[in-house]
């Protein structure tokens, strides 16, 4: 589609001609985010350098009734930054300044294009860090983290993005500035800071974030435990938490994931194990050592076959390396994979893993499991070959079944990757028409004309009617045998 010349002229006047891309070659790199099965080359890419220029882009889009999609580094896994036809792609990567690190007040003020890891790097000289650590933290930006409410391996104890934000400066599609929250962490009125967090760029564009910094822990210990069966490992997760210990990280891998990781990075995982648990403890020296002993004896009671505590930081990093490279490691096993992101109540871990295994066999597609066990956030990786006729559809179908199972046991279709375009269908499983209509109502309050990232995050009722027709066979609800609550 050829962009509206009046819009282009407004954008060029506000940003300068070199910050507005229209040629197919220049726009091509922005055609997808990390969900690369969905692509659409943008007609216009705007690259503002300041909050005022961001506002100018939004005002121009509003004036010309043009949809606008905000994008950070494009590391999102659900297609939230997928360009929309006839729209402007608003790339925030050039707003990349750390504006302030205030060690005395333990906060940092940054522009949206600053990467997650840059915040911790800027805070490190003061013995502080920014806690949420999504696996893409080298590349992903804080603006994107706010849009997705990103988690990471340490969020059971240290919180999600929403728990570590103090204040947001937001530009609305109506051309107004909003300040949400405050450096004190509270503000009068409704909690719009929490509402904006995780709203996938549908309600406003963040131009500045003030985040909380935490002191680096005095002591960190990492413990690895192997199990002969998945159920014992899953039970150990519940036992640790019920004992009153909140680990900084509690990660689990199943046999296919363990073997793939070991073959990929040689991190010392026992390849004969059915399940592996990594438990990280952090805090004051005495507390960590006390908890470490308690966790060790609990894991023995739960039937751990191998138990190892990292002796130093080098070994700790090596033990983590297998977990952190698990996705690419599993990726070597098949030409393609889908990464699912359901979250379930922890008590159902073992049952759900068993069910996923049965579904995987029935579908004839292998599934490897790597996940944040402490949070109950599963990442089943469905392996397939897009080159084989029908395999993409079978993999998508298996993925949808897994997410429906997560909802059926009281969980959610997405724990941390967001809905984007990827999970619009599964959203219809989790929410009824009234909730979806309420979400559209929230959208209307911020963006009455539906110009910000249209078509993402919340499905239309019509789409859900189509999805229902596809998913419900023979009038039977999926997993009718499972309790629903």
Partner 1 sequence: MDHDGTDELVAQVREATARRTPLRIVGGDTKWFFGRAVAGAPLSTRGHRGILRHDPAELVLTARAGTPLAEIEARLAGCNQRLPFEPPHFGADATIGGTVASGLAGPARAWAGPLRDFVLGARVLSGDGRVLRFGGEVMKNVAGYDVARLMAGSLGILGVLLDVSLKVLPVPPGERTLSLDVDEATALGRLAEIARGALPLSAGSWIDGRVYLRFEGSDATLDDVQARVGGEVVADSRGFWAGLREQTHPFFTGTSPLWRCIVPPLAPPLSLDGAPLVEWNGLQRWYRCAPGVSAFEAAAAVGGHATLFRHGTDAPEVFAPLAAPLLRLHRALKLEFDPAGILNPGRMYADL
Shortest distance (Å) from residue 215 CB to partner 1: 4
* Nearest-angstrom CA–CA distance, 19 and 48: 7
Shortest distance (Å) from residue 188 CB to partner 1: 4
Nearer to partner 1, 174 or 336 (CB): 174
Query: Which stretch, 211-219, 252-260, 322-330, 392-400, contacts partner 1 (CB under 8 A)?
Result: 211-219
* Nearest-angstrom CA–CA distance, 63 and 443: 19
* 437, containing H or E segment: helix 433-446
Judged by CB under 8 A, the residue of 27, 31, 64, 174 near partner 1 is 174
Binding to partner 1 (CB under 8 A): which residues in 215-234? 215-218
Judged by CB under 8 A, the residue of 9, 36, 37, 191 near partner 1 is 191
* Dihedrals phi, psi of 97, to nearest 5 degrees: -100, 135
The verdict on 484 binding partner 1 (CB under 8 A) reads: no
Site string for partner 1, 274-293 (x = CB under 8 A): ---------xx-xx--x---
DSSP track, 338-399: EE---B--GGGHHHHHHHHHHHHHHHT--EEEEEEGGGTB--EEEEE-TTSTTHHHHHHHHH
Assigned token pair, 27: 């726009």
With tokens 């992101």, the residue in question is 341
Shortest distance (Å) from residue 196 CB to partner 1: 9
Shortest distance (Å) from residue 249 CB to partner 1: 13
Binding to partner 1 (CB under 8 A): which residues in 290-319? 290
Nearer to partner 1, 259 or 456 (CB): 456
Shortest distance (Å) from residue 136 CB to partner 1: 15
Nearer to partner 1, 51 or 331 (CB): 51
The verdict on 208 binding partner 1 (CB under 8 A) reads: no
User: Using an 8 Å Cβ cutoff, are 399 and 414 in contact?
Assistant: no
Nearer to partner 1, 71 or 259 (CB): 71
Residue 186: partners with Cβ closer than 8 Å, 6 or more residues away: none
* Nearest-angstrom CA–CA distance, 308 and 267: 13
Binding to partner 1 (CB under 8 A): which residues in 350-379? 372, 374-377
Nearer to partner 1, 183 or 333 (CB): 183
Shortest distance (Å) from residue 428 CB to partner 1: 11
**C-alpha closest to that of 99 among 215, 194, 207:** 207
Judged by CB under 8 A, the residue of 245, 261, 329, 339 near partner 1 is 245
The verdict on 141 binding partner 1 (CB under 8 A) reads: no
Query: Taking phi first (over 0 means left), then psi (-120 to 50 degrees means alpha), and beta for anything else, what does residue 227 get?
Result: beta
Shortest distance (Å) from residue 54 CB to partner 1: 16
Binding to partner 1 (CB under 8 A): which residues in 453-482? 457-458
User: Using an 8 Å Cβ cutoff, are 30 and 91 in contact?
Assistant: yes
**C-alpha closest to that of 161 among 138, 190, 130, 192:** 130
Q: Please give the size of the binding site for partner 1, defined by CB under 8 A.
A: 92
Shortest distance (Å) from residue 220 CB to partner 1: 12
Judged by CB under 8 A, the residue of 2, 23, 25, 244 near partner 1 is 244
* Dihedrals phi, psi of 100, to nearest 5 degrees: -165, 135
The verdict on 392 binding partner 1 (CB under 8 A) reads: no
Shortest distance (Å) from residue 364 CB to partner 1: 29
Shortest distance (Å) from residue 381 CB to partner 1: 18
The verdict on 195 binding partner 1 (CB under 8 A) reads: yes
Residue 236: partners with Cβ closer than 8 Å, 6 or more residues away: 225, 227, 277, 298, 299, 302, 303, 304
Binding to partner 1 (CB under 8 A): which residues in 425-444? 427, 430-432, 434-435, 438-439, 441-444
**C-alpha closest to that of 384 among 364, 369, 401, 370:** 364
Nearer to partner 1, 227 or 269 (CB): 227
Binding to partner 1 (CB under 8 A): which residues in 78-107? 103-107
User: Using an 8 Å Cβ cutoff, are 54 and 92 in contact?
Assistant: yes
Shortest distance (Å) from residue 172 CB to partner 1: 7
Judged by CB under 8 A, the residue of 270, 410, 450, 454 near partner 1 is 410
* Nearest-angstrom CA–CA distance, 363 and 369: 16
**C-alpha closest to that of 99 among 204, 192, 210:** 210
């Amino acid at each position: 589609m050829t962009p509206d010349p009046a819009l282009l002229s407004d954008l060029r006047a506000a940003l300068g001609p070199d910050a507005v891309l229209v040629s197919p070659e220049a726009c091509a790199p922005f055609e997808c985010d990390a969900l690369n099965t969905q692509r659409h080359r943008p007609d216009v890419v705007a690259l503002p350098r300041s909050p005022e220029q961001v506002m100018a882009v939004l005002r121009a889009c509003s004036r010309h009734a043009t949809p606008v999609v905000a994008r950070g580094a494009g590391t999102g896994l659900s297609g939230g930054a997928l360009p929309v036809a006839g729209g402007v792609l608003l790339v925030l990567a050039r707003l990349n300044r750390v504006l302030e690190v205030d060690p005395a007040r333990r906060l940092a003020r940054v522009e949206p294009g600053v990467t997650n890891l840059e915040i911790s790097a800027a805070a490190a000289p003061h013995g502080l860090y920014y806690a949420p650590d999504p696996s893409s933290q080298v590349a992903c930006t804080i603006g994107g983290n706010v849009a997705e409410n990103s988690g990471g391996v340490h969020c059971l104890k240290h919180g999600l993005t929403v728990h570590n934000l103090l204040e947001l400066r937001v530009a609305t599609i109506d051309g107004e500035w909003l300040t949400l929250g405050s450096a004190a962490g509270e503000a009068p009125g409704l909690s719009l800071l929490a509402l904006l967090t995780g709203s996938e760029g549908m309600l406003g564009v963040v131009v500045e974030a003030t985040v909380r910094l935490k002191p680096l822990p005095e002591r960190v210990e990492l413990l690895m435990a192997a199990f002969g069966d998945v159920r014992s490992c899953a039970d150990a997760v519940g036992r640790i938490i019920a004992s009153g210990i909140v680990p900084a990280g509690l990660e689990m891998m199943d046999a296919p994931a363990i073997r793939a990781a070991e073959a990929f990075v040689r991190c010392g995982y026992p390849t004969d194990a059915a399940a592996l648990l990594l438990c990280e403890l952090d805090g004051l020296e005495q507390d960590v050592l006390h908890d470490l002993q308690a966790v060790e004896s609990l894991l023995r009671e739960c039937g751990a076959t191998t138990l190892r505590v990292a002796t130093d930081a080098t070994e700790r990093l090596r033990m983590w390396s297998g977990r952190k490279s698990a996705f690419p490691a599993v990726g070597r096993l098949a030409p393609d994979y889908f990464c699912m992101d359901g979250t379930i109540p922890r008590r159902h871990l073992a049952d759900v893993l068993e069910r996923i295994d049965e579904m995987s066999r029935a579908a004839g597609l292998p599934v490897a499991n790597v996940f944040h066990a402490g949070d109950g956030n599963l990442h089943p990786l469905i392996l397939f070959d897009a080159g084989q006729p029908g395999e993409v559809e079978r993999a998508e179908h298996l993925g949808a079944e897994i997410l429906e199972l997560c909802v059926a046991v009281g969980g959610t279709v997405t724990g941390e990757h967001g809905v984007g375009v990827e999970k619009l269908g599964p959203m219809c499983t989790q929410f009824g028409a009234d909730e979806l209509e309420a979400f559209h109502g929230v959208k209307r309050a911020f963006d009455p004309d539906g110009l910000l990232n249209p078509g993402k995050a919340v499905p239309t009722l019509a789409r859900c009617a189509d999805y229902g027709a596809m998913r419900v066979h023979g009038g039977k609800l999926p997993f009718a045998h499972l309790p629903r609550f």
